[in-house]
Amino acid sequence: MAIVVSRKESFLDKMYIPALMVGLKVTIKQFYRTLFQNGSTTIQYPEEKREYSQRFRGEHFISVDENKIENCTSCYLCQTVCPAECITIIAEERPADENPYGVRKEKRPARFDIDALRCCFCGFCEEACPKDAIKLSRNYEMAQTSREDSFYDLDHLKREVKGRG
Amino acid sequence: MTSFEIIALILKLVFVLAVVLNAVPIVIWFERRGSAWMQGRVGPNRVGPFGLLQPVADVIKFIYKEDFAPAQAAKFYYLMAPVIAAVAPFAAFAAIPFGSHLLVGGQTVPLQIATLDVGILAALAFAGLEVYPLMLAGWASNNKYSMFGALRGSSQMVSYEIAMGLALVSMLLIYGTLDMNQMVVFQDQTMLGFIPRWGIFLNPLAFLIFLIAIFAETNRLPFDLPEGDSELVAGYHTEYGAVKFAMFFFAEYVAMIMASCLLITVFFGGYGLIPGMDPALAWLSGVMGFGEAAAQNLRAAVQVLMFIFKVGCVMFFFVWVRWTFPRFRFDQLMHLGWKILFPLALVNLVFMAIVIAWIGA
């Protein structure tokens, strides 16, 4: 059964005028705050950019060592864990004359493609990677003018990113 | 009519038209930026300094849009509605005095386009015309949303015109005249030495009723049911696009300015100066060594500025209220109009009549 809760309204309440005054006061206060105390919450986007947290998961990159060689060893862990199935790796053996690392980097990705349009930015690949090779940077401006530009290849992923970007 | 009078009349017409036409974009600009400021946003600030050219950009956009008409519409009335909407409130400005008078070459030029004995009736008549474009637009565009908007709009405007008229009648009892210029002259004195003898202080209840009624008359929030975006798409102008819509939009703001002119003239002393400004101006004229004509012209110029300032304050209030209060439901609107404002206005009228008979006796 519904419980009827009725509030006693005084004559002043029924006039509504005091309540209207309170409402007008709220808006004029906000008006003053925005206009004179810089209280606007808007970020003027292209000129002014939002600072996201250090843990923000944005555009992918693959970390490189001091010789600009990728840390990825094509173990396929990221491809396996990816829930969106957006990572495609083709592995190959690193030629002996290009390999100063010995057994440590014997295997390398011939292709490492990420379809950023399918990616859901969950960060599982980053967690799965035993070499800390694949990472998500803090760059969130990933808009492109064509579909092809959103398919990241190894060259794109190996671009220089400082820290987490 | 002498040629001097004809030239003066044309100049006054041009002045009023220019001021009102230029006031509308400024009010629209303030509506958009003011609303943003009240909500902690920035508002349009890219076009021109402070975004002041935004209305210009809007108008250009409207002009370049496709000019369409629904196939089943009654074309003649469909096209006529925005024209009436844009013209009717303009005509009402003719009766409103925006300054006392100028002295040019020994001749008096009253700062009022049509010096009518029944000025307030003329203004009300033209303001009352605003209901016709609404009904025409709603019926002629053959759209159910437009129809509903027009039905709501016409019943709302007719209902609130009664309360508005009664509130005005109680003011007319006080002033004892229909001539708006004489109303202003009446209000141009002080009570108890410092309070200006404005209508709002003489009869605050009538002011409140009139204020609420003009919000309903101009279809502004909290009474914007004819447009009612959330339930009626855009109400009576759903089927209007491009310049035709721009005319409706424009007319809405002209009607608002008209309503605030009326409010100012009846309740806030019209073009009358704030007490203390008259001696200051007289002193200034004395210091500058002005003759009688120059002093009067200076005074008239300050009065015109004062009038514009007062109208600006009321327009600010319009915007302020719009972005504060939610919309009424239609039955609540009718309840307020017929069961509260109408009896209240009647009681107020009778009370005022008794008080005036008492004082007069």
Q: Would you call B321 and A33 a contact, using CB atoms and an 8 Å cutoff?
A: no
Q: What is the rounded average pLDDT for all residues in chain A?
A: 86
- For B49, the token pair is 């300094």
Residue A69 has pLDDT above 90, yes or no: no
For B283, the enclosing helix (H) or strand (E) is helix B277-288
B321 CA: distance to closest CA in chain A (Å): 7
d(CA A147, CA B335): 58
Q: Which pLDDT score, from 0 to 100, does residue A124 have?
A: 92
Burial status of residue B240 (CB atoms within 10 A of its CB: 0-12, 13-18, 19 or more): buried
Chain B, residues 28-87, CB within 8 A of chain A, namely 34, 36-42
Question: What value does the mean pLDDT of chain B take?
Answer: 85
Here the tokens at position B91 are 């005509």
* Residue whose token pair is 């005095």: B97
Arithmetic mean of pLDDT, B203-211: 90
| Residues B37, A31: C-beta atoms closer than 8 Å | yes
Distance, CA of B261 to CA of B186 (rounded, Å): 17
Give the pLDDT mean for B175-193. 81
Give the least confident one: B33-42, B110-119, B306-315: B110-119
Kindly provide the residue ranges of all beta strands, DSSP E only, lying in chain A, ordered along the sequence.
60-62, 87-93, 107-115, 134-136, 151-152
Token pair 């060893």 in the structure block, residue: A73
From the CB of residue B102, how many other CB atoms can be counted at a distance below 10 Å?
19
pLDDT at position B348: 92
Residue B329 has pLDDT above 70, yes or no: yes
Contact between B40 and A30 using a beta-carbon 8 Å cutoff:
yes
Residues of B in contact with A20 (CB under 8 A): 325
Question: Which residues of B fall within a CB distance of 8 Å from A30?
Answer: 37-40
Residues in A touching B321 (Cβ below 8 Å) = 24
Any chain B CB within 8 A of the CB of A44? yes
- Average pLDDT, integer, range B324-348: 88
Residue of chain A whose Cα is closest to the Cα of B35 = A31
Lowest mean pLDDT among A125-129, B42-46, B165-169, B230-234: B230-234
Give the torsion sign (CA, B324, A23, B26, B112): positive
The Cα–Cα gap between B361 and B356 comes to 8
Is the preceding peptide bond at A83 cis, omega within 30 degrees of 0? no
Q: How far apart are CA B287 and CA A144, in angstroms?
A: 70
CA distance B316 to chain A (A): 11
Q: Between chains, do A23 and B325 touch, taking CB under 8 Å as contact?
A: yes
Q: pLDDT value at position B361?
A: 58
Q: Which chain B residue shows the shortest CA-CA distance from A39?
A: B40
Which chain A positions have a beta carbon within 8 Å of B324's beta carbon?
A: 23-24, 26-27
Angular region, A90: left φ>0, alpha ψ -120 to 50, beta rest: beta
Residue B263 confidence (pLDDT) above 80? yes
* A81 pLDDT more than 90: yes
- Banded model confidence at residue A80, pLDDT cuts 50, 70, 90: very high
Which pLDDT tens digit goes with each residue over B75-118?
A: 888 888 888 888 888 888 888 888 888 888 778 888 888 888 88
Give the separation between CA B232 and CA B147, rounded to whole angstroms.
10
A134 to chain B nearest CA, in Å? 39
> What is the per-residue pLDDT for B347?
93
Q: Which residue of B has its CA nearest to A19?
A: B325
Name the packing angle between helices B119-128 and B75-92 (round to 10°): 150
